[in-house]
Structure 1
Amino acid sequence: MNDHHKESIGKWISVLHRQFQMYLNRELKPYGIRSSEYIYLVNLDEEDGVSQETLSRNLYINKAATARAISRLEKLGLVRRARDQNDARAYAVTLTPEGLKIRDVIQEKLRKWTRALEEGLTEDEYAFMMRTIKRMSANALALVEAGRHDAGEEGGADDDD
């Protein structure tokens, strides 16, 4: 395809990502949670008691950003860190009872966002979009991983998103 006549997919993904951050920041502000932190609570809901390193790896976020986010969530009383019984150097992160309560709030906000995105799509359009987004994600991951290996990196993304 001729690149000069195509709209930028990256631009629209970026716009959508930014709108999602603004939505989450607004909706989660009463709970003191930022858009860059909610993902840890969602991940812990799926797999509670994992190490910070595992969280970083699962989310493709660097260890320093994960440590900052977990520290802040711990101060908010939403997660607890304890020495991992299998590795004294690592911390296992778990949701607190307060974190479990917030989980339902976050899940509802995410469902509302998803419903808004799906508004007006037919079943066929939805299925096509899911296949396309998954393929694009795989392509992006392959590019990022190839770059990491070329640069000799070990961690995840350098930003807090």
Structure 2
Amino acid sequence: MSPAGERLLQKVSSTRLFARVAPHCIPALDRAVHRLTRGKVLLSTRMLPGVILTATGARSGRPRRTPLACLPQEDGGWLLVGSNFGRPGHPAWTGNLLKNPEAEVSWRGEDIAVRARLLTGEERVRAWRAALEVWPPYATYQARVEREIRLFRLERR
């Protein structure tokens, strides 16, 4: 994508309209395309790299599949940002990982067992800076909500 196209996409994704509409259509499209391509394609990766997270539901105990943007890490792990598109509540998948940190991601067609860890303190500060470098709209999302956006580190197990 061209730099101008990327800036436009970031500007659109920072709007309240996007925050209202995107959570209802982007995950559904991502799940469908991911299933049709046998785990090789996510539409949202036009914006950011992405995974399909399969975590155990905190209340239901059932597997919950959620397409998520991610920041791949040099050591083979991933950083996940619980921005919820700048909406007030924490996304459900973050509560699932807090209660059941053992999960799985589908990454480029491969299913990988992971363990999630909520980042705090200086480690969170560094991860937040890295997330903002990759996707500046996260700052807009944080400015719209009173909660601190949760950041998770996924490590292969």
Structure 1 length-normalised TM: 0.27
Larger proportion of strand? 2
Larger proportion of helix? 1
Q: Which structure would you say has the larger Rg?
A: 1
